[in-house]
Amino acid sequence: MGIINVLDIEVANLIAAGEVVERPANAVKELVENSVDAGARSISVEITGGGIRSLRVTDDGCGMSAEDAVVAVRRHATSKLRRADDLAAIMTLGFRGEALAAITAIAKFRLLTKRREDAEGTSLSGEYGKVTEIVSEGCPDGTTIVCEKLFAATPARLKFLKSESSEASAVAGALEKLALSHPEIAFRFISDGILKFSTSGDGNLKNAIYSVYGSAFAKNLIAVDTKSGGIGVSGFTCSPENLRGNRGMQQFFINERCVRSKTLTSALEAAYRSYIPSGKFPSCVLHVSIPAKLVDVNIHPAKLEVKFSDEKAVFDAVFAAIRRALSVGIARPGLNLAEIAEKTQEKEKLQNLFREAEEKGERSEASGEKPPLSAKEPEPPTAVSEPPAAPKRAPIAETEVKQPRQLSFEDDDLPVDVPVPGQKRESIFTHLHAPSAGLGFEAMKSLYTSAIRRAETAKPDATPPPAVPAPSEEKILQAPTHPIPAYRITGEIFASYIIVETDDKILMVDKHAAHERINFERLRANMTMDRPNVQMILTPETIALSTEEAAFCEEYRSELEACGFEFSVSQREITMTGFPLGFEKEEARTLLLALISESLNGASPLESTKRGIFERALYQSACKASVKAGRIYDGAHLRWICDNLFRYDCIKYCPHGRPVAFEISKKEIDTRFGRD
């Protein structure tokens, strides 16, 4: 007797069920996808016990005849494919013909279905892969499937299920994705008799997002809607203020199918790279429409992963759509004074609670007794106490002195302190912070004037301010410009923040962050030119490579040259004769090596790797060329920064993700002063 056995159909169905239905959420997903394919406009899902005890899916789709209902629960039975050629252009969610067979193999089930043209419907009952009853029965148009006691016939699988609450959360997550993929369908989800969410089915994606994720998420979204090269990208992405610590809220849909894709994730995060800090991730709900022949959905039993015939085209389409939406749709963050005050009060209240707890603990330790938790602290006796002694001031370090330099804002001359190395602080601080008791106005004025004169004779700051850029340097290539509105620079605080008045609001501008973003955009624009500017090297730089790296450079010569590198390749080395404008020689060497190694070792396409590496490298170059916080610059520098802030939409966040400016509305200020 041979040792090779042909499995019974029941065993084969159980194995298939293990691949398709790992938990109740998979069963719900497959059933709802069939409802969507059936043309349903309303779908209701009810579960108890996380879907393990029972689940019900009801739709108003096309329904089935009695004959089709019997065949539908068989394995590899489907109405969505007829021949092999259909696999090349799949537009339906289900197509394998395994879902109903797999689900009915691991549960007791009942199927009610009716077509609109039929006078009565069909009721089909069975358990664990066997149909036990088929009768005609009155029922509404559409299909209802009820499954009970999932995995009761497979105790090994049942043992590895999580808690009922965890399984219910997984079902909710699957339904949320389906509701977002089809905003034109009304979804209703009930768990243990409680309505969890309901969508209107009006076709408005933002309304569906509101119903699923709530108002806090929906109000901070930026619309995306572009189409290029036959690939359309639409939906919503988050503002840089609405970030998360993981990728859990990144939802991608290819032709209305929820998928996982490294290409789409890489494109999204590459577009955000210079808008958010490291360790944070953007959220999105993005629909990508692509010709069916250019995407393969038949590579995963659960149909969660896809492959593209041209990954670069898809990456570029998503990257360009997100970047365009960010450059136009990002609003300058507002500074809500009431919210800040509320958070400050909450923080102080928490600190007071901790302080009181520590004091009680110290008193308990001193008395050797532990007071009961419910005991109320006695009121301290009323007594006249001596005022606390004035805290001792730390001695002033003799490292630098602040010398006033005249800085002109409009028609006013304001004395501003500037660090001057090598001189004691005594020249100003000893006089301005000395006790003033008994001194009149004229005496104080005399002291202040003499302090100014001594400071003016001190050694000036050895670091000259950077030159004001020429008008030609103000332009950011390929970036749309706007007319500069009327504004007034009213001052600068802490030698770091510019106060700007315009229309009915004021702006607090971080001069370093703003200048850094301007420099970054100029450098990045050079990188995206058809032929970026290249600076040649008098003495060529030779870099040792492995055989594989040298072959990569030769194969992708045109792509590397498009980045701004000029070079020649031998068997185990590359000789660099030119590199992109805006970098130092050593930076360019590191940049080239990083580009080669990450392209070889990473799974991302070269275009994605190139963008990521170059943008990270540009951060440092942009930062070094920017004005510094804490230093004083003349009015021309500050006005140039403000001009560009208003001229370009992209000057909202610095490359490291920090806001460039905060807005405070006049209405907010009036409210704080009781003028509303």
* pLDDT, tens digit (0-9, with 9 covering 90-100), for 551-566: 888 887 887 887 788 9
Does residue 492 register a pLDDT over 70?
Answer: yes
Tokens of 96: 């394998």
**Gap between the Cα atoms of 47 and 28, Å rounded:** 9
pTM of the model: 0.64
Per residue, what are the HEC states of 546-584?
CHHHHHHHHHCHHHHHHCCCEEEECCCEEEEEEEECCCC
**Gap between the Cα atoms of 385 and 19, Å rounded:** 78
> Which pLDDT score is estimated for 285?
95
* Highest-confidence segment of 178-192, 266-280, 482-496: 178-192
Contact by Cβ (8 Å): 516, 621: no
Model confidence at 416, pLDDT cuts 50, 70, 90, reads very low
Model confidence at 181, pLDDT cuts 50, 70, 90, reads very high
- Using alpha carbons only, how large is the chain's radius of gyration in Å? 34
**Gap between the Cα atoms of 264 and 270, Å rounded:** 10
> Which pLDDT score is estimated for 8?
62
Can 9-198 and 220-329 be said to share one CATH topology? no
**Gap between the Cα atoms of 199 and 218, Å rounded:** 14
Q: Could you say which architecture CATH assigns to the domain 9-198? A: 2-Layer Sandwich (3.30)
**Gap between the Cα atoms of 567 and 577, Å rounded:** 5
Percentage of residues in the chain with pLDDT exceeding 90?
Answer: 27
**Gap between the Cα atoms of 295 and 230, Å rounded:** 13
Tokens of 239: 């503002």
> Which pLDDT score is estimated for 460?
45
Domain 220-329 is found in CATH 3.10.20.30 = no
- Segment (H or E) for 412: strand 412-421
> Which pLDDT score is estimated for 601?
66
Instruction: Give the residue-averaged pLDDT of 521-548.
Output: 78
Model confidence at 353, pLDDT cuts 50, 70, 90, reads confident
Does residue 403 register a pLDDT over 70?
Answer: no
> Which pLDDT score is estimated for 423?
38
Q: Which residue has the tokens 């003349």?
A: 634
Contact by Cβ (8 Å): 609, 599: yes
Give the least confident one: 287-291, 401-405, 461-465, 568-572: 401-405
**Gap between the Cα atoms of 65 and 456, Å rounded:** 97
Instruction: Give the residue-averaged pLDDT of 390-419.
Output: 39
Give the least confident one: 43-47, 143-147, 450-454, 586-590: 450-454
Q: Which residue has the tokens 């009213």?
A: 490
> Which pLDDT score is estimated for 369?
55
Whole-Å CA distances, 262 to 15, 97, 305, 454, 608: 29, 28, 9, 64, 11
Report domain extents, the chain. Answer: 9-198, 220-329, 400-456, 479-676
**Gap between the Cα atoms of 371 and 365, Å rounded:** 10
112, β-bridge pairs: 123, 144
| pLDDT tens digits for range 212-255 | 998 888 888 999 999 888 899 999 999 887 788 888 889 999 98
φ, ψ for residue 499, nearest 5 deg: -100, 120
| pLDDT tens digits for range 586-628 | 878 887 887 777 767 654 555 666 666 667 767 766 777 788 8
Q: Which residues are CB-contacts of 669 (< 8 A; sequence separation ≥ 6)?
A: 337, 506
> b vs e for 495-523, b when ≥16 Cβ sit within 10 Å of the residue's Cβ?
bbbbbbeeeebbbbbbbbbbbbbbbbbbb
**Gap between the Cα atoms of 256 and 91, Å rounded:** 9
Question: Strands 284-289, 42-48: parallel, antiparallel or unpaired by DSSP?
Answer: unpaired
| pLDDT tens digits for range 453-479 | 554 554 444 445 555 555 444 467 667
Per DSSP, the three-state class of 378 is coil
| pLDDT tens digits for range 357-367 | 777 776 666 66
Give the least confident one: 146-160, 441-455, 505-519: 441-455
Q: Span 479-676: which CATH code?
A: 3.30.1540.20
Contact by Cβ (8 Å): 665, 334: yes
Average pLDDT, the chain: 77
Q: Which residues are CB-contacts of 82 (< 8 A; sequence separation ≥ 6)?
A: none
**Gap between the Cα atoms of 407 and 416, Å rounded:** 7
Tokens of 99: 């879902």
Tokens of 657: 């993700």
| CB neighbour class for 113 (10 Å; exposed up to 12, middle 13-18, buried from 19) | buried
Question: Strands 130-137, 284-289: parallel, antiparallel or unpaired by DSSP?
Answer: unpaired
- Segment (H or E) for 232: strand 231-238
**Gap between the Cα atoms of 56 and 148, Å rounded:** 9
* Highest-confidence segment of 74-88, 304-318, 455-469, 507-521: 507-521
Given phi > 0 = left and psi -120 to 50 = alpha, else beta, which region is 149? left
